[in-house]
Structures are given as structure tokens and as C-alpha cells.
């Protein structure tokens, strides 16, 4: 068996708390019905988040083509219509990201991979949020944030860009993401995909792929 040499990971939902749990905590704090929030997201993204549109507010935000205040206004207006009550747009995304907590187990795994000589990369679709650079210090050889490079997952070009930065071919790299459509895209472009659900499952898969004890 040929073992892999490079590790690429998503941020939200992989190196943070579970996406569903974090969103639920935000919805509780905002008194927002998550079903209505999901309905607004489907209008923009499609049922599986795969429908592409250059005027899509989420896609434009992730590529850095829309400013955060404009996106917050779009989202607040959509939620206000669905919920029948006013949602304050100012600082909406900042309030959302306060409910994402750091996943120390996965961070430890990445640091152990880096210490073992495995090239590592962060590949994240940004919603205009800031990243905890002090926590990521020394973790990654390459950091690719969608809004900084004008590309987003699941576009092939952002995967190719990340691989070029790492200097590795797709077939030698594992890609870890909590969103299955991103993993499926990565696999179609030649990477080895891991759909992240739990630390236990992901760490076992990575141990096998890299022939290393990363847990």
C-alpha cells in the first residue's frame, strides 16, 4: 500500500466544534428558527450547496467579492422575511462565530502530523470571519482562505492552487472536510477524501493513510 504524504484540512466543523451544534447555539441566542435559516440558505445554495451562481451572496462572500456588511444585510433581510420579525444585521456573522469553539483534539492531531514531517495545509471557505492565528501558529505549511484568493470550495481551481502551494500531487494528499459535497469534489479531482464526522473516525483513517500514529 502506498501511503500519503500531504494533509489538507477545512477549518469550520473540523478544527472547530460541530457545525450543527454551533449553529444551534447561535440560533438559540438569536431566537432564530433553524429550519427557516436553512430555508434561506437553500434559496442561495440549493439543497446540497452545489448550485453555482455568480450572484449568490454566500459564494460571493466566500470569494471575497461581497463585503461582510452587505452579506449581513442580505442574510438579515432573508431571515426577517421568513421569521416575520426584525433581525439585526450589524455584527450578525461575528455573533454567529462566537459559538464556534476550538477542537483541541483535531488541532493536536495536525500538530503531531506536522512534527512527523507531513506537509499540512488549511483550506477554508471564509464568511469574512477572522481565524485564530495564535492557535494555528506552526501548524500549517500553507494557509488558503477563500476570500483571500478569490476562489472557493468545491471549485477545482482552489484545490489545484492549494496543491501547487504544497508542491504535491493530488493523489498523495488527504483532504478532510465536514461537508460531504466538498469531499466528493476533492475525490473527483484526485485527492483522498475524508468526510469528518468525529475525531475518533478521522484519526483512525489518517493513521492508516499515513502509516503513522497521529492520535
**Cα(209)–Cα(72) distance, integer angstroms:** 40
Q: Do 120 and 205 reside in the same domain of the chain?
A: yes
Does an H or E element contain 106, and which?
Answer: helix 104-115
**Cα(142)–Cα(162) distance, integer angstroms:** 8
Q: How confident is the model over 57-83, as a mean pLDDT?
A: 85
Q: Do 116 and 39 reside in the same domain of the chain?
A: no
Q: How confident is the model over 116-125, as a mean pLDDT?
A: 96
Q: How confident is the model over 105-126, as a mean pLDDT?
A: 96
Q: Do 84 and 125 reside in the same domain of the chain?
A: no
Decide if 1 is inside a domain: no
Here the CATH number for the domain that contains residue 73 is: 1.10.150
Q: Do 168 and 74 reside in the same domain of the chain?
A: no
- What range defines the domain where residue 59 resides? 19-97
Here the CATH number for the domain that contains residue 147 is: 3.40.50.1000
Q: Do 86 and 136 reside in the same domain of the chain?
A: no
What pLDDT is attached to residue 82?
81
Find where cell 492508516 sits: 208
Domain count, the chain: 2
What pLDDT is attached to residue 42?
74
Decide if 215 is inside a domain: no
Q: Do 131 and 203 reside in the same domain of the chain?
A: yes
Q: Of 81, 97, 113, which marks where a domain is finished?
A: 97
Q: Do 111 and 41 reside in the same domain of the chain?
A: no
Does an H or E element contain 199, and which?
Answer: helix 199-210
Per the CB < 8 A criterion, the answer to whether 104 and 189 are in contact is no
Per the CB < 8 A criterion, the answer to whether 17 and 100 are in contact is yes
Q: Do 92 and 106 reside in the same domain of the chain?
A: no
**Cα(181)–Cα(120) distance, integer angstroms:** 21
**Cα(79)–Cα(73) distance, integer angstroms:** 10
Backbone angles phi, psi at 38, to 5 degrees: -60, -35
What pLDDT is attached to residue 1?
53
Q: Do 91 and 178 reside in the same domain of the chain?
A: no
**Cα(197)–Cα(131) distance, integer angstroms:** 22
Q: Do 11 and 107 reside in the same domain of the chain?
A: yes
Strand, helix or coil at 15? coil
Q: Regarding predicted confidence, which is higher, 182 or 127?
A: 182
Q: Do 48 and 132 reside in the same domain of the chain?
A: no
pLDDT digits (tens, 9 = 90+) for 152-175: 999 999 999 999 999 999 999 999
pLDDT surpasses 90 at 92 = no
Decide if 171 is inside a domain: yes
Q: Of 79, 97, 115, which marks where a domain is finished?
A: 97
Q: Of 49, 78, 97, which marks where a domain is finished?
A: 97
What pLDDT is attached to residue 34?
80
120-124, strands of its sheet edge to edge: 142-145, 120-124, 6-9, 173-177, 192-195
Amino acid at each position: 500500500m502506498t501511503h500519503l504524504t500531504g494533509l489538507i484540512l477545512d477549518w469550520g466543523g473540523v478544527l472547530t466544534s460541530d457545525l450543527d451544534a454551533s449553529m444551534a447555539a447561535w440560533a438559540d441566542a438569536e431566537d432564530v428558527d433553524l429550519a427557516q435559516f436553512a430555508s434561506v440558505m437553500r434559496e442561495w445554495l440549493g439543497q446540497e450547496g452545489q448550485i453555482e451562481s455568480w450572484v449568490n451572496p454566500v459564494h460571493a462572500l466566500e470569494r471575497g467579492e461581497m463585503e461582510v456588511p452587505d452579506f449581513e444585510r442580505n442574510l438579515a433581510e432573508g431571515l426577517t422575511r421568513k421569521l416575520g420579525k426584525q433581525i439585526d444585521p450589524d455584527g450578525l456573522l461575528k455573533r454567529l462565530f462566537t459559538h464556534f469553539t476550538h477542537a483541541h483534539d483535531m488541532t493536536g492531531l495536525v500538530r503531531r502530523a506536522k512534527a512527523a514531517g507531513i506537509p499540512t495545509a488549511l483550506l477554508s471557505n471564509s464568511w469574512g470571519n477572522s481565524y485564530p492565528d495564535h492557535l494555528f501558529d506552526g501548524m500549517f505549511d500553507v494557509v488558503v482562505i477563500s476570500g483571500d484568493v478569490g476562489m472557493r470550495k468545491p471549485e477545482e481551481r482552489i484545490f489545484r492552487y492549494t496543491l501547487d502551494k504544497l508542491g504535491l500531487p493530488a493523489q498523495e494528499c488527504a483532504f478532510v472536510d465536514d461537508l460531504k459535497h466538498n469531499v466528493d469534489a476533492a475525490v473527483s479531482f484526485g485527492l483522498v477524501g475524508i468526510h469528518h464526522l468525529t475525531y475518533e473516525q478521522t484519526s483512525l483513517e489518517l493513521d492508516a493513510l499515513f502509516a503513522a500514529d497521529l492520535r
